[in-house]
Structure 1
Amino acid sequence: MRLMIAITLFAIGLVAPAFAAEKTIFEGPQKEIDAILAVFAEWGKARDAGDVAGVVAVYHPEMRIMTRNQAEFVGHKGVRDFYRQYYGVKSGRKLYSSMSELRVFGDAAFVTGKFLAVDPGKGVEDPGYYLIVLRKDSHGAWLIYRDIDTPSPDGLSLKPGN
């Protein structure tokens, strides 16, 4: 099951070609890992389609996005504001990423890895590392609770053709 989800993530662009070279560390119950990977697949599909409402659906209502050189984005309004500016329906922005680890601790989990956001039309090449914290909502569904990134040239290794 984990391999099937990893292949799906690769196909929708969440996991870069580097995925095969870097083994992801998984810790926690397989059922929870699979559920979190499904959230990431849903997130990527909505993001790539410019479906901001679909992106908002995978974020916890108390979420926060913390990214460089910008004020913190808070709550679902913050998610909408962040994704509208980068991933609207007509956006040329693409996100490549690799997952380093996914660890589950009860009703909380975290995922780390590298990313590269590119938008050739705007001259954007934004590499870095990410930390995503997830927690379960009152119905037991995993949702993104914190979305944090930091710049690093290491993300350039995800550039297609590398």
Structure 2
Amino acid sequence: MAIVTSAVLLAAGAAFAQQRGAERNAGADAAIAKTRAAYQTASNAQDGAALARLYSSDGVEMPPNAPAQKGRAAIEAYHKQFASQMMVHNLEIKATDTRVLGDVAVDVGTYSQTLMPAKGGGKTIDDKGKYLVVLKKDAGGAWLISHAIYNSDLPLPGPPPAK
């Protein structure tokens, strides 16, 4: 009888622990979704400073066709420079998998956006791609981006015609 009682208590404890873990992850998922939404809003507003604030102080962004940007100042400068050439419109970020492991999380998904030349003229690009972001929970409970990488699903343009 003691063995049965112990087994029942152990099973109940495991179920409770899973439920508590799910509740903690639900809270983390909501906070991570808030960070994701803030990234989307800041990108659509061409706000490099707001984007940089979503990163940890030692955060790294790895944009396509460019060197890794290390630290908030570099991330802000990159986005300001990018916005001086191409403006992001209608960025939509959709998470397909978010995994929380204590105070670290991995967020994977897809994005779509319209890129328009900042100075007018030129070709508008309807871009779709994927991303992977590692987030860390800071001392205040906010989920900040530690590392981000993203790239387009569009093929690279061919070389210019020979002259």
Q: Measure how far apart 1:76 and its partner are.
A: 0.4
**Correspondence 1:97-108 to 2 at 5 A:** 97-108=93-104
**Correspondence 1:5-154 to 2 at 5 A:** 29-87=25-83, 92-94=87-89, 95-121=91-117, 122-123=122-123, 124-153=125-154
The CA distance in 2 between the partners of 1:83 and 1:46, in whole Å, is 10
Contact 2:103 2:137 survives alignment (8 Å): yes
The CA distance in 2 between the partners of 1:61 and 1:38, in whole Å, is 19
Residues 4-63 of structure 1: CA distance to partner in whole angstroms, max 9, x if unpaired? xxxxxxxxxxxxxxxxxxxxxx99611111111111122222222222222121111111
TM-score, scaled relative to structure 2: 0.67
Contact 2:105 2:135 survives alignment (8 Å): yes
Q: Measure how far apart 1:153 and its partner are.
A: 4.3
The CA distance in 1 between the partners of 2:153 and 2:47, in whole Å, is 28
TM-score, scaled relative to structure 1: 0.67
| Equivalenced residues, count | 128
CA RMSD of aligned residues (A): 2.7
Amino acid across the alignment from 1:70: A
Report SS of the residue matched to 2:32.
Answer: helix
Match of 2:4 in 1: none
The CA distance in 2 between the partners of 1:101 and 1:107, in whole Å, is 17
Residues 124-157 of structure 1: CA distance to partner in whole angstroms, max 9, x if unpaired? 3443210011001233321011111133249xxx
What's the % identity of the aligned pairs?
Answer: 27
List runs of 5+ in structure 2 lacking aligned partners: 1-21, 156-163
Specify whether residues 119 and 32 from structure 1 end up closer, same or farther in structure 2 by C-alpha distance, changes over 3 A only: same
**Structure with larger Rg:** 2
